[in-house]
């Protein structure tokens, strides 16, 4: 197998964690005789410093032409001026939109050995295995109009939550498809008691549910979902929701797993290259220290092997090796341990 992967290390701890994921991908390639070509590019704050924008058209084009894109993290205090016209996050949103990756898969599992790393009571965490599917190219992040204007002598700011029926349909269809390989339960999360866009969301999700009678569908209001996620997290199988609802709920769900550093994500569209990134941010406070947890990025690389490169066996092998490392007691600082970023990756490589 031959594939080209664009690597966007980004800012903060991004370069540290992507370097370790590349070592793991390199090992997988050597073992299986696959030819993985890595092309490193700038995106985020580092691209603002070099080119004045967070994502250049050239880098976007390279990403669109690749088989998959691996991303570390973007952003940091250096680029955090709220009045700034260019922001690292624009690169990330531009990339998601430019690749058309409308579905962001964020699996949340609780490793039995990490139950104590979570602030939740251990008995609540037994059997937690959630796949959150966050709509990624629409909703409140992308709706128009957005911006500032003066009205009645006051400054106003507007963001718009806009969904077309087809945008809801394609992401909920994916939720049902993936639920069929799991426990066959979809929870569609909205705010249909208040928002018109949520009433359309619920209408479309209901229709897709009727087309998939072998999967159970329930609807849940987002505030209830926020509560249920900590009260009874094991009751969820596949959860599908609007862009910003998903952003918020996945940070909450990450607490279940003990650390943000553990969680991977895959962003998929209609057949083009997928985008793979850990759900944690650039963590400027620990950047450059070599202590970040690389597992979120390594597990994102595993999702890349599965969803973009068709290497299911290799993906599962990486996931097993990461799990075994945790079982074997490997812990970075976020998990209460002392292993460096590199040493944690070594623990995974040793078991691969």
How long, in residues, is the chain? 352
In the range 13-42, which residues lie near ligand IPM by CB under 6 A?
none
247 in catalytic set: yes
Residue span binding Mg ion (CB under 5 A) among the ranges 48-56, 142-150, 239-247, 315-323:
239-247
Identity of the residue, 225 or 279, whose beta carbon is nearer to ligand IPM in the bound complex: 279
The answer to whether 102 and 136 are in contact (CB under 8 A) is: yes
Is 191 one of the annotated active-site residues of the chain? yes
Q: Which residue spans within 176-305 are E strands per DSSP? A: 185-190, 216-221, 238-241, 266-268, 274-276
Q: Does 346 bind ligand IPM (CB under 6 A)?
A: no
Nearer to Mg ion, 89 or 346 (CB): 89
The count of chain residues that interact with ligand IPM, using the rule CB under 6 A, is 5
Cβ at position 283, least distance to ligand IPM in Å: 12
Those residues with Cβ within 8 angstroms of residue 95's Cβ, 6 or more apart along the chain or in another chain:
8, 43, 55, 60, 63, 69, 71, 275
Residue 237's contacts (CB-CB under 8 Å, 6 or more residues apart) are: 129, 130, 131, 179, 182, 183, 184, 185, 186, 187
92 binds, among Mg ion, ligand IPM, none (CB under 5 to 8 A by kind): ligand IPM
Q: Which of 59, 68, 92, 292 binds ligand IPM (CB under 6 A)?
A: 92
Residue 89 touches which of ligand IPM, Mg ion, none (Cβ within 5-8 Å per kind)? ligand IPM
Are the C-beta atoms of 332 and 291 separated by less than 8 Å? yes
Of 203, 182, 195, nearest to 245 by C-alpha is 195
141 assigned to active site: yes
Binding-site string for ligand IPM from residue 222 to residue 261, where x marks contact by CB under 6 A and - marks none? -------------------------x--------------
Q: What is the Cα 261 distance to its own chain's centre? A: 12
**4-25: burial string, b at 16+ Cβ within 10 Å, e else:** ebbbbbbbbbbbbbbbbbbbbb
Is 236 or 245 the residue whose CB approaches ligand IPM more closely? 245
Interface with ligand IPM by CB under 6 A: which residues? 75, 89, 92, 247, 279
As annotated, the active-site residues are: 141, 191, 223, 247, 251
């Amino acid at each position: 197998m031959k594939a080209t992967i664009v690597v966007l290390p980004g800012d903060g701890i991004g370069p540290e964690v992507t370097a370790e994921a590349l070592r793991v991908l390199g090992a997988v390639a050597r073992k299986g005789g696959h030819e993985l070509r890595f092309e490193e590019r700038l995106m985020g704050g580092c691209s603002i410093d070099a080119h004045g924008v967070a994502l250049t058209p050239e880098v976007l084009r390279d990403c669109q032409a690749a088989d998959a894109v691996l991303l570390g993290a973007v952003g940091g205090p250096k680029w955090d001026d709220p009045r700034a016209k260019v922001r690292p996050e624009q690169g990330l949103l531009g990339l998601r939109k430019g690749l058309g990756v409308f579905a962001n898969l964020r699996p949340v599992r609780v490793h039995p050995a990490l139950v104590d790393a979570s602030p939740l009571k251990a008995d609540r965490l037994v059997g937690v295995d959630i796949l959150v599917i966050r709509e990624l190219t629409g909703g409140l992040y992308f709706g128009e109009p957005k911006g500032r204007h003066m009205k009645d002598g006051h400054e106003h700011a507007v963001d718009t939550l806009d969904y077309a029926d087809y945008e809801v349909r394609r992401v909920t269809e994916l939720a049902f498809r993936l639920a069929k390989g799991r426990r066959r339960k979809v929870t569609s999360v909205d705010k249909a008691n208040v928002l018109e866009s949520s009433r359309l969301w619920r209408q479309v999700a209901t229709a897709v549910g009727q087309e998939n009678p072998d999967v159970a569908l329930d609807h849940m209001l987002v505030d209830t979902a926020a509560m249920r996620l900590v009260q009874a997290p094991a009751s969820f199988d596949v959860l599908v929701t609007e862009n910003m609802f998903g952003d918020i709920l996945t940070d909450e769900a990450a607490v279940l797993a003990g650390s943000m550093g553990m969680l991977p994500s895959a962003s998929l569209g209609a057949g083009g290259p997928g985008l793979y990134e850990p759900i944690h941010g650039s963590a400027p406070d620990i950047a450059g220290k070599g202590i970040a947890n690389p597992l979120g990025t390594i597990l994102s690389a595993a999702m890349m092997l599965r969803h973009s490169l068709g290497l299911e066996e290799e993906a599962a092998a990486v996931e097993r090796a990461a799990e075994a490392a945790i079982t074997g007691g490997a812990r970075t600082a976020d998990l209460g341990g002392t292993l460096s970023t590199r040493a944690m990756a070594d623990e995974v490589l040793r078991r691969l």
